[in-house]
Amino acid sequence: MRRPYNFSAGPAAIADEVLAQAAAEMLDWHDANGRSSGMGVMEMSHRGREFMSIYEGAEAGLRELLAVPDHFRILFMQGGGLAENAIVPMNLSALRHRNAAPGEADFVVTGSWSQKSHKEAARYCTTKLAASNAGSGHTTLAAPATWEIGAGASYVHVCTNETIHGVEFHELPNLAALGCDAPLVIDFSSHVASRTVDWSRVGLAFAGAQKNLGPAGLTVVVVREDLIGHALPICPSAFDYKLVADNQSMYNTPPTYAIYMAGLVFAWLKRNGGIKAMEERNIAKAKMLYDAIDASGLYENRVDVNCRSRMNVPFFLKDETLNNAFLAGAAARGLLALKGHKSVGGMRASIYNAMPITGVQALVAYMREFEQTSA
């Protein structure tokens, strides 16, 4: 069976192989030596030997794939990216104060997601807008040297891939080079594991799993050790990075099945060459799609070429009356979930790791055909 190509922004496509393995193990999970547990993963105690091996395998898999240095902790949490918008300021905004009082956090707004982060953090600490691309309709990225970062910032937040507007940082800002010693916090939800990460520039990174790592319900947090242990007194215990880290993400019951599924995705990524190979494939996929858009008379992408996302490609039909016909024709050819986010309109093709190159080829072929027949 060849399934349709799913261009959903999230929850998003998962590789067939991964789903097939999960299905095969649904009633009876086997360990690496083929020893039967007699249970499905959802039914296991999170503290049992079987699940501990799944947990440790997932953590080690992610650490190896993303080359996470030893002085960073990997936390498996819940609540998604939006919960981290509150959890991060509750844990980091007092970094500059030894008296656990909230300080200031600075935000670079580049689209809907960083805007939400900025707004939510203001409930817990002082916030400062260091830069915003709202004037361009969220289609540009200002050079970090132009950002106005406060001297008292406890951290600086950026969303390194704006899932809705299709704006991506192709290089992480080097805050130290700008004379800023505050840690950089990145929301990398929608491009995690699609490219390598320069951890020397990062203090904390968080990602909801449902874009590129597996099913919804798991939030991955990668945090430098010295940033742990500064939570505000109001921070819920289950969201205090220190308690989560000290208890190996098992202060409360972690999202066990989602961790298992993410572990299968990490193993699949490794079998397919790891992050470097994935990044090369993602560059090729994105180039194919943007080239087709730029070469056409019907389609357009409005994002500056230097910050176009490799993962989320929003595009418009210059004749918007054709939108419904375009989507119907796409669905008939097994090209699903191409409708753009309601706040932007038009179309959006999300081409995460699990989207094979043949899926992008099929989309590009359909776009050409549609342009020719509707002209």
Contact residues for ligand PLP (CB under 6 A)? 10, 80-82, 113, 159, 163, 187, 189-190, 208, 211
Question: Which position among 29, 106, 147, 211 bears the catalytic label?
Answer: 211
Q: Which two tokens stand for residue 293?
A: 């858009």
Select 57 or 187, whichever has its Cβ closest to ligand PLP: 187
Beta bridge partners of residue 73, listed in sequence order: 223
DSSP 244-296: HHHTTT-SS---HHHHHHHHHHHHHHHHTTHHHHHHHHHHHHHHHHHHHHHH-
Annotated catalytic, 181? no
How many angstroms separate the CA atoms of 203 and 93, rounded?
A: 13
> Which CB, 74 or 292, lies closer to ligand PLP?
74
Among residues 187, 240, 268, 285, the one annotated as catalytic is: 187
In the bound complex, what is the minimum distance in angstroms from residue 160's beta carbon to ligand PLP?
8
Could you count the other beta carbons within 10 Å of the beta carbon of residue 224?
16
Tokens 């993410």, residue?
262
Q: 211 or 348: whose CB is closer to ligand PLP?
A: 211
Note if 199 is an active site residue.
no
What's the min distance (Å) between Cβ of 349 and ligand PLP? Answer: 15
CB nearer to ligand PLP: pick between 94 and 159:
159
Catalytic residue among 113, 147, 240, 339: 113
Helix 80-92, helix 112-121: angle, nearest 10 = 40
**Is residue 77 within 8 Å of 219, Cβ to Cβ?**
yes
Residue with tokens 């649904």: 26
Q: Residue 218: CB partners within 8 Å, gap ≥ 6?
A: 76, 77, 78, 208, 209, 254, 255, 258, 259, 262
Asked if residues 209 and 218 have their Cβ atoms less than 8 Å apart, the reply is yes
Q: In angstroms, rounded to a whole number, what is the distance separating the alpha carbons of residues 100 and 96?
A: 9
Q: At what angle do helices 357-374 and 274-295 cross, to 10 degrees?
A: 10
Task: Give the nearest distance from C-beta 295 to ligand PLP in angstroms.
Answer: 28
Query: Is 270 among the catalytic positions?
Result: no
Residues 6+ apart with CB under 8 A from 160: 168, 169, 172, 186, 187, 188, 191
**Cβ closest to ligand PLP, residue 57 vs residue 81:** 81
- Angle of helix 49-65 relative to helix 256-271, nearest 10 degrees? 40
Q: Give 93 or 210: the residue with its C-beta nearer to ligand PLP.
A: 210
Give the residue numbers annotated as catalytic, written as ranges: 113, 187, 211
